Amino acid sequence: MTDALNTKRSEEIFGSAKNLMPGGVSSPVRAFKSVEGDPIVFDRVKGPYAWDVDGNRYIDYVGSWGPAICGHAHPEVIAALQETLEKGTSFGAPCVLENKLAEMVIEAVPSVEMVRFVNSGTEACMAVLRLMRAFTGRDKVIKFEGCYHGHADMFLVKAGSGVATLGLPDSPGVPRSTTANTLTAPYNDLEAVKELFAENPDAISGVILEPVVGNAGFITPEPGFLEGLREVTQENGALLVFDEVMTGFRISYGGAQERFGVTPDLTTMGKVIGGGLPVGAYGGRKEIMSMVSPSGPMYQAGTLSGNPLAMTAGIKTLELLKQEGSYEKLEALTKKLVDGIITAAKDSNISIHGQSISAMFGFYLCEGPVKNFEEAKSADTDRFSKLHRLMLQKGVYLAPSAFEAGFTSLAHSEDDINSTIKAFQESFSEIS
């Protein structure tokens, strides 16, 4: 084992935080509950790096859970924000920056003809669900086991074993009556979806999914799965919704829908389009989006929605991403990282299954392939938890859960990737 990390100040701060906020955090996964040790308290971030309050530096593969695709605190994003800041932080009135970001999103994302900005991915998914129901006049929705669509009541459902047709709430406080309209199927299982449609004729408003799953580790769609969902929804007069909060502008500039060539009816976005500030969005065909208030009857609103700072960070981030060669660089860098991780594990006789697409990656400590959440659960979480701590000690910050995707950025260099692979080699050999 390498020297223990000095995290004295982190421990003090987190110790106080526990008395101030539930679990000491503002969002649960940050609390390191599923890995060893206490969370690291960050002091600042820049490029591919994060520094903690004890002065330790980490190569960061969490990237604020997705937004930091150009690297943290990119100088051009910061400069643009400073300029906007001089004009005020929030208008509560139309602003031209909303037009600009809307035009960029519409130009990039194949399914989006019109867009509504909100403040988080949860808000986007919650609103899109209301829109699915408003447009179709049907109440039920199909989601997949292991896909996360934010914390709105209707989405807090996990499937039981096999195909559960009645959703059971994942959290106290979520009424059964609400989740009874949430039907679940295993990811990559088209037949299960067809069965749900057959069992619930004219009752299902649509199917929502992460087109590439990042909330159950990293699971890619099997060939034909997305295409099959497109067909089955169309046949049943239901909508297909891609939750691209994680994959939007990350899997490619036009998201997973561009990469896989399957166009949904509606799309939710967040993370990257906010460039590190709180933003979400949902969009789709004009005919559907025209249902949204005030052009239509479906109510949805937001005090800070479309605020100039968030729009500015989003616009600048997309401009940087649009530059020639961005996605080729992200693809090559991330593949090199994952190949290195897999080789390192195998050299230590540790079972591993890993993949990447563009700037998103993941690995499971088990034999692959992993096609759904049930299979993902066979991964060795105890070993992951040890690995996570060892990697921290060697200056690499991975998501504190075996079931989260990893993110790279344009700021990660070949040297960063090489030192990360070296840290994996050493860590795997310590836990083999």
Question: Which of 399, 345, 362, 405 is CA-nearest to residue 58?
Answer: 399
Binding string, residues 45-84; x marks residues near ligand PLP by CB under 6 A: --------------------x-------------------
Binding string, residues 289-318; x marks residues near ligand PLP by CB under 6 A: ------------------------------
Please tell me the distance from the alpha carbon of residue 395 to that of residue 352, in angstroms, as a whole number.
22
58, 135, 148, 218: which one contacts ligand PLP (CB under 6 A)? 148
Closer residue to ligand PLP in complex, CB, 122/358: 122
Closer residue to ligand PLP in complex, CB, 121/340: 121
Q: How far is the CB of 215 from ligand PLP (least distance, A)?
A: 5
Residue 368, token pair as written in the block = 């692959």
In sequence order, what are the residues at sequence separation of 6 or more whose Cβ sits closer than 8 angstroms to the Cβ of residue 10?
38, 39, 40, 41, 52, 53, 54
Quick check: is 52 catalytic? no
Quick check: is 243 catalytic? yes
Quick check: is 194 catalytic? no
Closer residue to ligand PLP in complex, CB, 65/361: 65
Residue 125, token pair as written in the block = 């998914």
Residue corresponding to tokens 């891609």: 242
Please tell me the distance from the alpha carbon of residue 184 to that of residue 374, in angstroms, as a whole number.
13
Please tell me the distance from the alpha carbon of residue 249 to that of residue 110, in angstroms, as a whole number.
12
Q: How far is the CB of 318 from ligand PLP (least distance, A)?
A: 18
Return the residue nearest ligand PLP (CB atom): 121
Q: How far is the CB of 356 from ligand PLP (least distance, A)?
A: 17
- CA 91 to chain centroid, in Å, comes to 28
In sequence order, what are the residues at sequence separation of 6 or more whose Cβ sits closer than 8 angstroms to the Cβ of residue 33?
23
Closer residue to ligand PLP in complex, CB, 164/279: 279
Q: Can you count the helices (H) and strands (E) in the chain?
A: 14, 16
Under the binding rule (CB under 6 A), the answer on residue 270 touching ligand PLP is yes
Please tell me the distance from the alpha carbon of residue 359 to that of residue 315, in angstroms, as a whole number.
19
Q: How far is the CB of 243 from ligand PLP (least distance, A)?
A: 5
Q: What stretches of 296-401 adopt beta strand conformation (E)?
A: 353-357, 360-364, 396-397
Contacts with ligand PLP by CB under 6 A: the residue count is 16
Please tell me the distance from the alpha carbon of residue 428 to that of residue 421, in angstroms, as a whole number.
10
209, 245, 392, 410: which one contacts ligand PLP (CB under 6 A)? 245
Neighbours of 351 (CB within 10 A): 15
Under the binding rule (CB under 6 A), the answer on residue 150 touching ligand PLP is yes
24, 63, 71, 121: which one contacts ligand PLP (CB under 6 A)? 121
Q: How far is the CB of 362 from ligand PLP (least distance, A)?
A: 13
Under the binding rule (CB under 6 A), the answer on residue 189 touching ligand PLP is no
Residue corresponding to tokens 């989405």: 155
Sign of CA dihedral 297, 300, 304, 306: negative
Neighbours of 85 (CB within 10 A): 12
Which is the catalytic residue, given 52, 60, 243, 416?
243
Binders of ligand PLP among residues 214 to 243 (CB under 6 A) are: 214-215, 243
Q: How far is the CB of 280 from ligand PLP (least distance, A)?
A: 6
Question: Which of 308, 373, 416, 387 is CA-nearest to residue 63?
Answer: 416
Under the binding rule (CB under 6 A), the answer on residue 126 touching ligand PLP is no
- Residues with a catalytic annotation lie at 148, 243, 271
Give me the residues that bind ligand PLP (CB under 6 A), please: 65, 120-122, 125, 148-150, 210, 214-215, 243, 245-246, 270, 280
